[in-house]
Structure 1
Amino acid sequence: MKKILGITVLAAFIGGAAAIGGYKLFERNQSGGTISEKQQLYFANNPLKVSSSGEVDFVQASAAVAPGVVHIKTTYAASNKKSQSSPFDMFDDFFGGGGRQMQRQPSAASGSGVIISQDGYIITNNHVVDNAEKVEVILTDRRKVEAKVIGRDPNTDLALIKVNETGLPVVKMGNSDNVQVGEWVLAVGFPLDLNTTVTAGIVSAKNRSIGIIGREQQGNEITEEEYREYQRTGKRPDRPANTSIESFIQTDAAINPGNSGGALVNASGELIGINSAIASQSGYNQGYGFAIPINLARKIVDDFMKYGSVKRGYIGVNFVPLSADNSSEIKTSEVSGLYVNDVVAGGGAAAAGLKQGDVIKKVDGVVINDSPDLQERIGRLNPGDKVKLSVLRDGSLKDFTVTLKGEPNAGVLASNAPKTVEVSKLGASFAPATAAQKSKYGIDNGVVVTSVVTGKAFDNIGVEKGLIITKVNGQAVNSVTDVQKALPQTRNNMIYMSGVSPEGTFNFSFPAQ
């Protein structure tokens, strides 16, 4: 009897020690590791209890997700920002800009976010927190806490923020690769400043590119007209680099202003996307919403947590998506896949043996029909990762293993991106205007305002990022050096500037300091 009692006590002791050790391991891992590891540990101890009865019933999925979706409120410095309305303008559509002239006073906006770890990491859209002076998170228990921006990625419209709280409810990440057209989904967020709102719909398409993220850039995709000119002259189109990645999940679940950054989840309550944009002439839901696949978002989040910035790998090719409309022009019988019109010297594709004229048909065994298919797959990978490309060459399919290169070797378009230099006196950064921008506005010279520092000269007079300055104190400018040389040549201690913007030409002046 004593022996049995002794064994029982020993077993209890071992079990208790194991439980304590397991808890300590869980606690230790919650403070570090990738977001996938954090989620795995959390849901091992807090299993998602959602079942399917064979009928459409979103009650359990809504209950599981809603506590982990938060309301984000942002405050901006005073500015004379004039918004331009656009069917695909994320800022206008989600924050109600509508082309109104905003007064010079602090402004505010709101969006949504998704809690992805117990210790306060929240994923949202870049455009929700971009340029915000203050970011506040309102939790579902109505607590209001200030958040710190960990990282922003304009190329995917994703951002990671963090609040100093623990024990928060977490939304489980699913697998966006498994999403199917016709599948039921829920959109959860804070539309129109309402409290937590759940809407239902179906996935109406995948791998959608609508040009919203990189619309101010001209990217790697070369138009048919440009390609014909390239064939005729051999001259590459002159334009800034476009590293945006668009491969949206399209849904008809109702999404309205304020849903931006919220959760798109499947019927099992798993996060499959981050709501990002709507296609609307009015700025409100008209049946089309777009979400960033969670498999892409997971890589961005892990990079922010590990490096503080996104580490992106590149194949090193320029391509044209094939279709029935352009295949004859390119002189190929193929109507699907990506036609390689240029291989970047020193890039991963060149080292692997790809050539101009190849047609990329698969990436790691997955069929590629259009550029978003490729962009999203490669966007999940890092420099140094290997990817298998199945390429059609001379009528047969061949496999090439490409080692992705980092930013410096990304390709001609990326390495030719204009260098940005700050002029502290103006509180702004500038880059030389590209040939494409000069052609668009009919100008011979200019520098682009690439950023504006809050509280400095440009910000105080309402100069915005994206404007092109053509003259400073009557002197034509083509570079930051030109700007710096022209600044001292004031008249009556005033600095005079001229330039162009989508609204037309402009002139302004302000006191020299």
Structure 2
Amino acid sequence: MPRFLSLLFPLLLYPFIATAGASPQTTQGNLAPVLKTILPSVVNIYVTGSINVPLDTVDQEGAPDESPQNNGHSSMDIGPQKFENLGSGVIVDSKKGYILTNAHVIAHAKNIRVTLTDGHRYKAKLIGTDPDSDVAVIQIDPENLTAIPLGNSDLLHVGDFVAAIGNPFGLGQTVTSGIISALQRNNLGIEGYENFIQTDASINPGNSGGALINMKGELIGINTAILGPEGSNIGIGFAIPSNMAHSVMEQLIQYGSVKRGTMGVLVQNLTPELASAFHVSNTQGAVITLVVTGSPADEAGIKPGDIIVEVNGKKIEDSGSVRNAIGLLRLGSQINLRLLRDGRLKSINLVTIDPNKYIEKIASRDPFLFGTEFRNFDEITPTQGHVQGVQIISTQEDTALWRAGLRRGDVLISVNGKTISNMTDLKKEVSTAKRQLLLNVLRQGGAIFVVVKQ
């Protein structure tokens, strides 16, 4: 199955709303004059490439062999397999030939071909792709191109009339109409960063990367996914807002990628119950549930229980709004947060940092124990009697303890010759160590010594 099909039908396990009707037609007059000027800006995209496919043992009919001996799976690959994919795109810069589309449309592509409405075909160059937001930018020779005007997706309202333009099922350019059914849809599990416009305008396979326009002919979204059983359209389609797509596009054009920063917090929606518990009347916002030690948020004085109501002047509706607002900023960006703390507004400034550099910073503070979870161990065992120490719950790959061979279930009972009974003892002894640790470890009824180096 082509990649775009999986993205166009990413929620097949969700409940389906069987009462969704057909897309309504606009009553605001004839769309033809508007469409005449912008249809040339929506293009068809054809890609070819190859991808390594895991070998599912198949029978002679080509169906998976689900016999008990094979279980329908194999750890082997059958090597590079050629594929073809169809999608749509939108010309956003006629002078430079930039085209917006979905990242999943051009994923793994070796060749990208663009066909205009007048039949002209161009070989496209990939400028940049961001799978987390499902936005990509490609480029063709800027020759007699028509760019679509960008609308402001922040000004949309539920009930606004819209039209979707694309290349469904490879049939060629097609226009469908409907209304905006909902805004700021997130937590759907379709993309990493979600702030979808929901529409009942028909969106089908091949529409991915196409335009969602308002009645002025302005681009207000990039068609991305639908919710429907067995490939059918039931009037639930999703588009990436134009403002979000444009923000990602600017980074892709300038840098070729999106490098996101972090501020080091976890958040949750501000429910009416939480609002009452925090003694605030507003239910719009996101509650900070955790501040990571040593993060920009921690250094700026942010605390659990603070309620984020604005990020860089933009109101925050829920936790998804915070994730999107921060996720669309490049690392090193300045952030101004408006917080509610004890019923009072506070303004806090901070700068996002590279998550990888942040991890390196934390690891440098605790090079021996970083990346490992522990618990106090105090049990009577049949082979070793009463044992007190610290047990490893989990350890991340390529950390000091992991490289030394320590794994889940190991119990540390001494560090550099000093007996330890709990986490306090462990941290005390490790804090005085220089370049290495000598650990006495109990494992599966036996005991070993292990040397751990930074």
Question: Shorter-chain TM-score: which interval?
Answer: 0.5 to 0.7
- The separation in 2 between residues aligned to 1:367 and 1:153, in whole angstroms, is 25
- The separation in 1 between residues aligned to 2:301 and 2:129, in whole angstroms, is 35
Tell me the alpha carbon deviations over residues 8-27 of structure 1, each in whole angstroms, 9 at most, x when there is no partner: xxxxxxxxxxxxxxxxxxxx
SS in 1 for 2:230: coil
| Aligned equivalent of 1:245 | 193
In structure 2, the CA distance between the partners of 1:183 and 1:411, relative to structure 1 (3 Å rule), is: farther
Shift of 1:263: 0.6
What is the percent sequence identity of the aligned residues? 40
Root-mean-square deviation (Å): 3.6
Give the structure-1-normalised TM-score: 0.57
Quick check: 2:268–2:288 contact (8 Å CA) kept in 1? yes
In structure 2, the CA distance between the partners of 1:257 and 1:210, relative to structure 1 (3 Å rule), is: farther
In structure 2, the CA distance between the partners of 1:409 and 1:344, relative to structure 1 (3 Å rule), is: farther
> Is 2:189 the counterpart of 1:212?
yes
In structure 2, the CA distance between the partners of 1:171 and 1:82, relative to structure 1 (3 Å rule), is: farther
| Aligned equivalent of 2:338 | 390
Residue from 88, 93, 96 that aligns with 1:117 = 93
Residue from 309, 317, 326 that aligns with 2:265 = 317
Q: Amino acid of the residue matched to residue 296 of structure 2? A: G
More strand by share: 2
| Aligned equivalent of 2:82 | 106
- The separation in 1 between residues aligned to 2:165 and 2:157, in whole angstroms, is 19
| Aligned equivalent of 1:364 | 312
Tell me the alpha carbon deviations over residues 214-268 of structure 1, each in whole angstroms, 9 at most, x when there is no partner: 5xxxxxxxxxxxxxxxxxxxxxxxxxxxxx2111111111100000000111111
Tell me the alpha carbon deviations over residues 324-373 of structure 1, each in whole angstroms, 9 at most, x when there is no partner: 46678xx5455542111112234332233211111112223433221232
| Aligned equivalent of 1:473 | none
- Judge which range, 382-391 or 114-123, deviates more: 382-391
- Judge which range, 56-65 or 185-194, deviates more: 56-65
- The separation in 2 between residues aligned to 1:150 and 1:301, in whole angstroms, is 10
SS in 2 for 1:126: coil
Shift of 1:124: 0.5
| Aligned equivalent of 1:488 | none
Q: Amino acid of the residue matched to residue 164 of structure 2? A: A
| Aligned equivalent of 1:72 | 45
Shift of 1:105: 5.4
Q: Which stretches in structure 1 are left out of the alignment for 5+ residues?
A: 1-53, 84-102, 215-243, 417-433, 436-443, 448-477, 482-513
| Aligned equivalent of 2:140 | 163
Which runs of structure 2 are paired with 1:150-229 in the superposition (5 Å)? 150-214=127-191
In structure 2, the CA distance between the partners of 1:75 and 1:209, relative to structure 1 (3 Å rule), is: same
| Aligned equivalent of 2:35 | 62
Quick check: 1:316–1:410 contact (8 Å CA) kept in 2? no
| Aligned equivalent of 2:245 | 297
SS in 2 for 1:206: strand
| Aligned equivalent of 1:223 | none
Residue from 387, 402, 414 that aligns with 2:350 = 402
In structure 2, the CA distance between the partners of 1:387 and 1:200, relative to structure 1 (3 Å rule), is: same
Q: Amino acid of the residue matched to residue 250 of structure 2? A: D
In structure 2, the CA distance between the partners of 1:302 and 1:364, relative to structure 1 (3 Å rule), is: closer
More helix by share: 1
In structure 2, the CA distance between the partners of 1:61 and 1:316, relative to structure 1 (3 Å rule), is: farther
| Aligned equivalent of 1:231 | none
In structure 2, the CA distance between the partners of 1:402 and 1:81, relative to structure 1 (3 Å rule), is: same
- The separation in 2 between residues aligned to 1:115 and 1:190, in whole angstroms, is 14
In structure 2, the CA distance between the partners of 1:273 and 1:78, relative to structure 1 (3 Å rule), is: closer
Tell me the alpha carbon deviations over residues 145-203 of structure 1, each in whole angstroms, 9 at most, x when there is no partner: 22121111011001111123423111111111111111111111101111111111111
Shift of 1:108: 1.1
Q: Amino acid of the residue matched to residue 111 of structure 1? A: G
> Is 2:295 the counterpart of 1:354?
no
Quick check: 1:313–1:410 contact (8 Å CA) kept in 2? no
> Based on CA coordinates, which of the two structures has the bigger radius of gyration?
2
- Judge which range, 374-383 or 172-181, deviates more: 374-383
Quick check: 1:155–1:213 contact (8 Å CA) kept in 2? no
In structure 2, the CA distance between the partners of 1:206 and 1:168, relative to structure 1 (3 Å rule), is: same
- The separation in 1 between residues aligned to 2:32 and 2:359, in whole angstroms, is 49
Which runs of structure 2 are paired with 1:73-92 in the superposition (5 Å)? 73-77=46-50, 80=53
In structure 2, the CA distance between the partners of 1:269 and 1:81, relative to structure 1 (3 Å rule), is: farther
Which runs of structure 2 are paired with 1:391-470 in the superposition (5 Å)? 391-408=339-356
- The separation in 1 between residues aligned to 2:268 and 2:162, in whole angstroms, is 33
| Aligned equivalent of 1:18 | none
SS in 1 for 2:289: strand
| Aligned equivalent of 1:96 | none
Residue from 201, 211, 221 that aligns with 1:273 = 221
- The separation in 2 between residues aligned to 1:327 and 1:411, in whole angstroms, is 33
Shift of 1:135: 1.4
- The separation in 1 between residues aligned to 2:83 and 2:334, in whole angstroms, is 46
- The separation in 2 between residues aligned to 1:361 and 1:251, in whole angstroms, is 27
Tell me the alpha carbon deviations over residues 474-509 of structure 1, each in whole angstroms, 9 at most, x when there is no partner: xxxx99x9xxxxxxxxxxxxxxxxxxxxxxxxxxxx
Quick check: 1:257–1:284 contact (8 Å CA) kept in 2? no
Shift of 1:136: 1.2
